[in-house]
Structure 1
Amino acid sequence: MPVFDFQLECPVHDSFRVRQVTGMFDLAPEHVGRASIRADLPGPDEPWTIGIIVGPSGSGKTSVAKHAFPEAYGKQTHPWPENAALVDGFPQRSIREITSALTAVGLSSPPAWLRPYSCLSRGEQFRADLARTLMENDSLAVVDEFTSVVDRTVAKIGSAAVSRAIRQRRLAKRLVAVSCHYDILEWLEPDWVLDMATGQLARGRLRRPRIQLDIVRCHHSAWRLFRKHHYLSSTMSTACECYLATYHGEPVAFCALMAAAGRKGRWRISRLVVLPDYQGIGIGTKLADSLAADYTAKRRGVNLTTSHPAMIAALRHSPRWKAVRVQANGYGVQSGHRSGRIPYYAPSISQGRPVVTFQFTDDARQGAISQESMP
């Protein structure tokens, strides 16, 4: 295990006021600008994926990160373009790589991808910065001031999203976060924590708090809060049955189902939206699963048709959904695909987009839908 032991020195320039202050408080100038730091960190050959250096301001977090990971820390990304879409801020990457990385960190709204970086919210900017940092560092990314500029809800959900993406190998990286916030530790689930306040290194993954969603039937008017975040349309049929998912009393997701025309007993999920601050940790899929299980228990089958890459990826890996129809690149219909065999189709302006219809096949969970717990 590497041990980093070094001195930090900052010159104190002599002046009349400096002498006044040193005289008032009996300070020795040569001691004021000097500090000793010692830190133990896991070695590069040890089995870890995510680590965090945490502590109050002035405790030496950044200095340790610079000394321990000089190449990764010193690798700066280029500025975001001022008059271009967010997706044009990744000049060396394909659109598939870009959208996959943005989705992996919880920035999964196509309208947000088309806006300039400067027009995004602080939370969206935080996730965009994370995506680019993780893409542009080959094996290890060091992120200083991790979650410092966002509110604490975004910080926690964003930490959980990036942890989930890295551990699922959607972003095959090691991450070292540097932060003054202790409230994200359980959400990031690091393999090790270096606390600069105590100088102690703690190993072993923390367990993320369970996310308890409350799901209730709601009025159509609840759609107003979510409509601007839907990736295709802000409109919704009034024939829909609508549901709202809340977390600690705050609305986080919306789902609307309507009867399928000409198919008795068959319903389809017409709208499914998760607010941006809560994206990236599987809330949308969990909400769809819960409602589909409840409808299936009432002998009402459920389909979901989507062209969103993140939703297609989530459902094709789920044992509870089966792909029954694939319309690739705007034309040509294929049926009977198993959910795990659907290929990735890169969107193209000239060819349209892939559209996949999934059918819910798991009716094992029956009963009320008032609550849903996420691990």
Structure 2
Amino acid sequence: MPRLDFVKKTRIIRSPRVIQLEGMFGLASEKNSRQQWTVDMPIEKDEWNVGLIVGPSGCGKTSIARECFKNEIVGEFNWYQQKSIIDSFPDEMGIKEIATLLSSVGFSSPPSWLRPFHALSNGEQFRVSMARAMAELPGLVVVDEFSSVIDRTVARIGSCAIAKTVRKRGQQFVAVSCHFDIIEWLDPDWIYLPATNEFRWRSERQSRPPVTLEIINVHRKAWELFRKHHYLDSTIQKSANCFVALVDGQPAAFTAVIHFPHKQSPSFREHRTVCLPEFQGIGIGNALSEYIASLYACRKKYTSVTGHPAMIQQRAKSKNWMMTRKPSGVSRQKGLEKNGKRRIASSSGRITAGFLYCGPRREKEAREFGLI
């Protein structure tokens, strides 16, 4: 992009109040308000995926973005008032592709996918809007007021998930924001600061800031905070042993474990794992799941069956899990008929995969939790 010099003029209507204001502060009588910018943003000189225009309010971020990226700025999407958000995605997209895209930007709550846009929280609306922008604008996407309407925890974690998705899809994304706290999380390839007309490439990729999890053993009543975000039913077994991961003292993810009393090969089984929407997209749920597995595996086999596409994909690549059953629809026994014959019921076509934990064991931590 070459060096740009442009002027923005706004007509001033000289009302009685405007005339009074001019007199109070000694302002010259003008027909137009005039703003001028000189922009040097050489983004065509190198390959990139993520850019950031950042600065305080009034420095010209939006005006510069509109001048430099006239046709790529994302506006307000039209969403169905009654239909699910997934029905607003392009018709040519299959449901698996939509689910993968939503999960990749950190919106991994299938129950929330069923709701219309207006029924989502601000954080959920932010992420689903980013997913739709990537779906409808496969080239360059420019988002003004990026992360402005959400709290800073959601903004930082969401920035990390979105940037990761952009790079994976080979797209280009420019965030326009007044918040400097997203820089480390968005990890842009370049930054432009309109207030000083400073442009700089960031030649080395940086790892996102570390997230410290505090994992505590909790009563199963803690499930009430997470249950509505689980993709299956919202029940939990009374025998479940439950754990919560805290981020800065806030509940972020939940895992429950039950004992599976098989005659030949008794084991422990992951019963429920949920990460709250505000913390999705950076692997907190998977980290908690694997940590709990490493505790219970000190005693017996630890298994898990999941139907969540993102979790199946992550575990299929992980060295800590071995797939014991490929993704498939399975049948299960549901009891005996009166005549003594077994009654078989299918899983309603739901695709699940089975896994065995084969990663490191944490015996010291397992003892601290009283598990051995």
TM-score by length of 2: 0.88
1:71 and 1:104, CA in 2 relative to 1: closer, same or farther beyond 3 A? same
- The correspondence of residues 307-326 of structure 1 with structure 2, limited to 5 A, is 307-326=307-326
What are the equivalent positions in structure 2 for 1:1-375 lying under 5 Å apart?
A: 2-30=2-30, 33-44=33-44, 46-73=46-73, 76=75, 78-92=77-91, 93-167=93-167, 169=168, 171-204=169-202, 205=205, 207-262=207-262, 264-296=265-297, 298-326=298-326, 328-330=328-330, 352-363=349-360, 367-368=364-365
Which stretch of the first structure deviates more once superposed, 257-266 or 3-12? 257-266
35-44 vs 185-194, greater mean Cα deviation: 35-44
Superposed displacement of residue 330, structure 1: 4.7
Shift in Å, 1:202: 2.9
In structure 1, what is the Cα distance between the partners aligned to 2:357 and 2:97? 29
Relative distance call for 1:237 and 1:59 in structure 2 (3 A) is: same
CA distance, structure 1, for counterparts of residue 14 and residue 218 of structure 2: 68
8 A Cα contact 1:191 1:206, kept in partner? no
- 1:368 to 1:58, Cα distance in 2 relative to 1, 3 A: same
CA distance in 2, matches of 1:370, 1:158: 35
Contact 2:10 2:34 in 1 (8 A): yes
The CA distance in 1 between the partners of 2:157 and 2:126, in whole Å, is 12
Helix, strand or coil at the partner of 1:211: coil
**Cα 1:240–1:41, aligned 2, differ >3 Å: closer, same or farther?**
same
Q: Secondary structure at the match of 1:184?
A: helix
Q: Hey, what's the Cα distance between the residues in 2 that align with 1:230 and 1:15?
A: 58
CA contact (8 A) 2:296 2:366 kept: no
Is contact 1:50-1:174 (8 Å) kept? yes
How far apart are the structure 2 equivalents of 1:45 and 1:265? 61
Distance of aligned partners of 1:315 and 1:28 in 2 relative to their CA distance in 1, 3 Å threshold: same
**What is the CA–CA distance in structure 2 between the aligned matches of 1:146 and 1:174, rounded to whole Å?**
15
Q: CA deviation at 1:300?
A: 2.0
State the one-letter code of the partner of 1:97.
Answer: E
Aligned mates of 1:57, 1:271 — CA distance in 2: 44
Name which one, 1 or 2, has greater alpha-carbon Rg. 2
Q: Give the deviation of 1:231 after TM superposition.
A: 0.9
User: Could you list the per-position Cα deviations for residues 177-216 of structure 1 after superposition, in whole angstroms to 9, with x for gaps in the alignment?
Assistant: 0111111111111111112233222321554210010112
Contact kept, 8 Å, 1:49 with 1:175, in 2: the verdict is yes
- TM-score, normalised to structure 1, is 0.87
Distance 1:13 1:315 in 2: 63
Q: How many percent identity over aligned positions?
A: 42
**Structure 2 CA distance for partners of 1:265 and 1:137, relative to 1, 3 Å:** same
Task: Report the alpha carbon displacement of residue 76 of structure 1 after superposing the two structures with TM.
Answer: 4.1
Cα–Cα, structure 1 residues 280 and 38, in superposed 2: closer, same or farther, change >3 Å? same
**Counterpart-to-counterpart distance in 2, 1:96 and 1:40:** 42
Q: Report the RMSD for the aligned CA atoms in angstroms.
A: 2.3
Counterpart residue type for residue 353 of structure 1? R
What secondary structure does 1:79 align onto? coil
SS in structure 2 at match of 1:44: helix
Tell whether the 8 Å contact from 2:107 to 2:277 is kept in structure 1 after alignment.
yes
Would the aligned equivalents of 1:267 and 1:302 in 2 still touch at CA under 8 Å? yes
Structure 1 residue 89: deviation in Å? Answer: 0.9
Specify whether residues 30 and 317 from structure 1 end up closer, same or farther in structure 2 by C-alpha distance, changes over 3 A only.
farther
How far apart, in 1, do the equivalents of 2:218 and 2:348 lie? 38
CA deviations over 1:39-96 (Å, ceiling 9, x no partner): 22242351211111111122110111112222212x5464111011111111422212
SS in 1 for 2:180: coil
| Greater Cα shift, 143-152 or 257-266 | 257-266
CA distance in 2 between partners of 1:23 and 1:43 (Å): 45
Q: Name stretches of at least 5 consecutive residues in structure 1 with no aligned partner.
A: 333-349
Q: Is the 8 A contact 1:105 1:158 kept in 2?
A: yes
